[in-house]
Amino acid sequence: MVGTSYIITRSFSESLSGLLRHLELIRMLTADELRRMQIGSVVGLYWVLIKPLSLVGLYGVLFGVVFQTRGGPNQTAAEYLIVLLTGLLPWLLFSEAVSAAAGSITANTSLVTKIVFPIEILPVSKVLGSTISGLAGLALLVALLAFLHQVGWTLVLLPLLLVAQLFFTIGLAWLLSAVNVAVRDTSQVLPLALTMWMFVSPVVYTTEMVPKAFATVFLCNPMSYFIEGYRMILLANQPPTALIWVVVTIMAIAVFLAGLWVLCRMRALIADLI
Amino acid sequence: MVAIQAKHLTKVYRWYARRADLFKEMLCFNQRTYHKQRLALDDVSFEVGTGESIGVMGQNGAGKSTLLKLLAGLSVPTSGSFEVNGKVAALLELGTGFHPDYSGIENVRINGMLLGLSRREAEQKLPAIVEFAELQDVIHQPLRTYSTGMQARLAFAIATALQPDILLIDEVLAVGDAYFVNKCIHYLQRFIGSGGTVLVVSHNSFLLGRLCHKILWLEGGRFRQFDTAQAVCRAYDLHVRKLESARQEQGGRPAGGQQWGSGEIRIRSVQLLNREEQPEHAYFCGERMLVRIHYEAASLYENPSVYVLVTRQDGVLATSCFSGEEPADVGLFQGTGFVDVVFDPLLLGDGAYWLSAGIFPHKQGPESIYRLDPFDYHERVCEFTMKRPTRPLQTAFDHPVTWVHRSGR
């Protein structure tokens, strides 16, 4: 195929550099994504806050009041709520983005089969759109913590952790959106899987609350490193440990590249299967 | 210079009964396959020069769209290869990625970028696109308020702004009103004139004849003919006519037709015969068609009225003839026999037609069909199609005319 380069036959490295060339397109689609969220509902942008707030309310009442979950003997319900928030908001950032992006290729059949289009852009803009709207909740949490005089200089590390999580999320979104074309059940199973994943991650509890016997569960779970990182930054005013940075960075890069690689390998198959 | 060169292009689609089979196949290293294969394109080779316009023709499932998808880079050939020299734009569907809630202008921006324009290019080309689509008045209104034709106009206008070297078009000119289709054709003709290469897929031999230098005819995924537009159109029309005839020969009586009457004279069968008195169900305009009505009379009957009604399948009453009205004496009906009604020349325009036939008591008009009992009436007893290979417009019928010219001195 001389004289013209086709996206469908792009190699992995071409796809990787192609991402930079498609930044404009990514930006446009992300803006479009944010706009659609607003257009689609009467409450518009308020959804961005209502959903996390109602979940926080639900888990807060369930674990803080009914189950009386506490981090320590002297922890009040309000203090537990803060612990819950620092785990739940980053988790929601991740899980909402993944579940939104998993169906992004299947939902845009015509972009795949009718026009020459870099399909790897679709999950990316979904994740970005979801993340940007989710940041509102996180910003509110930071404001609340600042009001309670609980944030320190470590806050500057928060964006770094967020970027790492973003790359991790995008990688997973690529993987799942590609698999979803071949196995349509993926988007059905995903909510269940994510809920299960949430409960094995230190979201509604902290790692200290769990018996040592279960420690390996957290060691094998990438999300527990992210959430531990957030808690250290936001609650303990400490920089995350070197282990957290190492694991988080490796995870982000590895999953990002693996996701794109799988999508590249499956691109021709996706075009015929979809 | 060669714009497109395809060598032994083959595309096999795999069909998996269940999606799980796909994974079995990917994961298991044994040689078992779990899919069925469908050969969409089978060893097709051809060459298109720069500045040429090529039509791709063939029946449903001939592999036309598959070919276009391969050339557009939307699918990968199973075997064979092709070379494309120049920037390719494919118009496989009008309005891919349109959002009904956004205004026309926003859709132009978004769609332009989806199709590969940069933000700035999309912005620059906006006025030209709106002008080409002739939607200046409504461009700020949401797309959902547009008619299908208007959306098609907008979509085509965006495609024109891509300024490719090679344009691949799949049957998209079928939507839109005649005015816009003409505009598109003029655009394409200018595009070809300025050195652009076009590959158009269409069922419409008239359109292809008007637009294309050469036509590639595919059948069942295989190469059938690649020749001048005129030659292929003619061959294709003949082929379709044969198929049509064969189908109706086998199918017998079309569905949905009713039959009623007192039965003193019964219609046993109705045949459509060509000049050679062979059964034929597809005619070119100007040919001779003979309607042969076989009857069986229970008793002697002098000069009954024979009625033939031709309706086009979209409901238009095309023509009718009634021997009681002409008046024509069809003579004495006795035992079995047949009446021939000759249409020569047959002047009906393109389309599919139904023929109904009836035998009525003497001099009772067809207006009484639904009030008075005919001896026998067979509604939609035959089907036939009309084709006019050479004429440009699809009109209801070909009126014979004479020409007079007086020079104005």
Is the predicted pLDDT of residue A2 greater than 50, yes or no? no
| Contacts (Cβ under 8 Å, ≥6 apart) of A10 | A18, A264, A267
| Mutation for testing the A interface, residue in B13, B19, B26, B76 having most A CBs under 10 Å | B76
Mean pLDDT, residues A237-266: 94
Cα–Cα dist B69/A137, whole Å: 44
B246-304 pLDDT tens trace: 766 665 555 556 788 888 899 988 999 999 999 888 898 889 999 999 999 988 888 88
Is the predicted pLDDT of residue A174 greater than 90, yes or no? yes
Q: Which residue of B has its CA nearest to A181?
A: B19
**The two three-digit tokens of residue B68, written as one number:** 């276009």
B interface residues, A as partner, C-beta within 8 Å: 13-14, 19-20, 22-23, 69, 72-76, 81-88, 90, 92-93, 96-97, 99, 101, 109-110, 113-116, 118-119
Cα–Cα dist B310/A200, whole Å: 75
In this prediction the ipTM stands at 0.82
Is the predicted pLDDT of residue A85 greater than 80, yes or no? yes
Between vectors from CA B193 to CA B56 and to CA A5, what angle results, nearest 5°?
A: 60
Is the predicted pLDDT of residue A47 greater than 80, yes or no? no
Radius of gyration of chain B measured on its C-alpha atoms? 28
Q: What pTM was computed for the model?
A: 0.77
pLDDT at A136: 84
pLDDT at B175: 66
- Which segments in chain B show pLDDT lower than 70? 19, 26-32, 174-176, 247-257, 363-372, 389-394, 409
Candidates B72, B86, B93; nearest CB to A3? B86
Cα–Cα dist A88/B403, whole Å: 87
pLDDT at B94: 81
| Contacts (Cβ under 8 Å, ≥6 apart) of B119 | A24, A28, B109, B113
pLDDT at A1: 39
Query: HEC profile for B151-210?
Result: HHHHHHHHHHCCCCCEEEEECHHHCCCHHHHHHHHHHHHHHHHCCCEEEEECCCHHHHHH
Query: HEC profile for A108-137?
Result: HHHHHHCCCCCCCHHHHHHHHHHHHHHHHH
**A49 or A239, which is more confident?**
A239
Helix (H) or strand (E) holding B347: none
**B376 or A73, which is more confident?**
B376
| Contact assignment for B96 to A111 by CB distance below 8 Å | yes
**Average pLDDT for chain A:** 87
Is the predicted pLDDT of residue A157 greater than 90, yes or no? yes
Mean pLDDT, residues A197-214: 86
